[in-house]
């Protein structure tokens, strides 16, 4: 049984991972890194999204330094040209009628796909389901994207932090945590394979509510938190404001870049902003402040590893979600290792 999980654990190759936003995949190649492996991402006019390992088979030059010419990708080093399926169709140094080497083709992940505005890759045959986020397809919700954040961190510890309900009053004193109750009441967790959901209701200080500023509603209000987790690093939190009305959905998508670095993608979906671009900007800025409060602590961990042995830490009843996170990741790692 694995005792801890680091960013580049090879067993994580048997899962779907976010790689970049769909908007970052353009008509020209771009480089993105997942678990120490560089990928090149671009869009072909006819074939759409393309994802390959970011190295030319000739001299392993980064293909992301090249250019797309219609359907084709040209390497910047020696001009080799590859079609949208990764097959080499031109080697300038051999002339126009040369027989091209059979091995002159690109390799890539087992699978790639797009879901709720994100590009996902599965380096090897995935054991986990491809994540989806229902609010993204709901016209009642407005979407706002935070700028990607690159930080020193462990993706497992960041997932643990996102699912943790007991840190609000201590870490988020500058945003929503000031005045929050420190006790975490009863809540339920329901697991389904490599996913789980959890529902919790509590009181909180709703400083974003215009009704508070207008004096029509009290600052302390009721809120329902519904967490949804898909292994390994796709997290979703729906916050239903039971007194002021409306729902705020937060998506948190973690890319373990290397053993000490994580790229964080986060988006919000709101159905209570009434089309106001200013309120959406304010909501995004608020979420940025929340993430920065978390990173002030998470980036300072000495050991960038998530313990998977349940007996190695002390747990309490408030930790149901984060204990379930460890169990699912432990089961995923065990299953992936058994496949080798």
What is the tens place of the pLDDT at every residue in 263-273? 999 999 999 99
pLDDT band at residue 91 under the 50/70/90 scheme: very high
| Bond from prior residue into 232 cis (ω within 30 degrees of 0) | yes
We report the CATH number of the domain holding residue 23 as: 2.102.10.10
Pair 256, 304 in one domain: yes
* Domain shared by 178 and 327, yes or no: yes
Same domain, 190 and 294: yes
Same domain, 293 and 163: yes
pLDDT of residue 202: 84
pLDDT at residue 2, rounded to an integer:
55
Least confident among 17-21, 54-58, 215-219, 308-312: 215-219
Whole-number average pLDDT of the chain: 94
Question: Does any domain span residue 7?
Answer: no
Same-domain check for residues 98 and 205: no
- Residue bearing the bigger pLDDT, 333 or 2: 333
Mean pLDDT, residues 68-84 taken together: 96
Is 93 domain-assigned? yes
Q: Which of 22-31, 171-180, 195-204, 213-222 ranks highest by mean pLDDT?
A: 22-31
| 116 and 200 housed in the same domain | no
108 with 202, same domain? no
pLDDT at 1 over 70: no
The domain boundary residue, chosen from 122, 143, 168: 122
Res 220: pLDDT: 84
* Residue 274, pLDDT score: 87
Together in a domain, 53 and 178: no
Domain end marker among 65, 92, 122: 122
Give the residue-averaged pLDDT of 109-137.
97
In a domain, 9, yes or no: no
By residue range, what is the domain housing residue 171?
Answer: 134-338
Q: Are residues 288 and 227 in the same domain?
A: yes
Q: Are residue 138 and residue 100 in the same domain, yes or no?
A: no
Distance CA 154, CA 148 (A): 16
Q: Whole-structure pTM over 0.85, yes or no?
A: yes
The verdict on residue 128 lying in a domain is no
Listed residues 122, 153, 170: the one ending a domain? 122
Counted domains in the chain = 2
pLDDT of residue 237: 97
* CATH number, domain with residue 286: 3.90.380.10
Same domain, yes or no: 174 and 250: yes
Above pLDDT 90, what percent of the chain?
84
């Amino acid at each position: 049984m694995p005792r801890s999980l680091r960013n580049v654990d090879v067993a994580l190759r048997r899962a779907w991972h976010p790689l970049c936003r769909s908007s970052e995949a353009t008509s020209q190649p771009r480089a993105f890194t997942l678990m120490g492996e560089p990928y090149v991402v671009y869009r072909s006019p006819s074939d759409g999204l393309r994802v390959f390992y970011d190295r030319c088979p000739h001299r392993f030059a980064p293909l992301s330094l090249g250019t797309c010419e219609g359907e084709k990708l040209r390497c910047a080093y020696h001009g080799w040209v590859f079609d949208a399926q990764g097959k080499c169709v031109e080697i300038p140094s051999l002339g126009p009628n040369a027989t091209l080497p059979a091995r002159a083709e690109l390799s890539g992940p087992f699978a790639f796909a797009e879901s709720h505005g994100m590009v996902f890759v599965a380096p090897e045959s995935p054991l986990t389901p491809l994540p989806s986020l229902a609010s993204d397809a709901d016209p009642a919700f407005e979407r706002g994207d935070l700028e990607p954040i690159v930080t020193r961190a462990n993706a497992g510890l960041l997932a643990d932090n996102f699912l943790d309900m007991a840190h609000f009053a201590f870490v988020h004193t500058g945003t929503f945590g000031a005045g929050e109750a420190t006790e975490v009441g009863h809540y339920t967790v329901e697991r389904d394979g490599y996913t789980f959901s959890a529902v919790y209701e509590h009181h909180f200080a709703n400083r974003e509510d215009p009704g508070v500023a207008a004096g029509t509603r009290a600052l302390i209000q009721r809120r329902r938190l519904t967490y949804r987790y898909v292994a390994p690093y796709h997290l979703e939190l729906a916050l239903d404001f039971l007194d002021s009305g409306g729902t705020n959905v937060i998506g948190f998508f973690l890319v373990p870049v290397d053993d000490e670095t994580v790229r964080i993608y986060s988006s919000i979906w709101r159905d209570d902003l009434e089309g106001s671009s200013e309120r959406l900007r304010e909501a995004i800025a608020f979420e940025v402040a929340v993430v920065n409060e978390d990173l002030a602590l998470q980036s300072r961990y000495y050991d960038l590893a998530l313990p998977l042995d349940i007996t190695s830490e002390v747990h309490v009843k408030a930790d149901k979600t984060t204990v379930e996170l460890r169990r699912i990741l432990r089961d995923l790692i065990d299953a992936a290792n058994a496949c080798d």
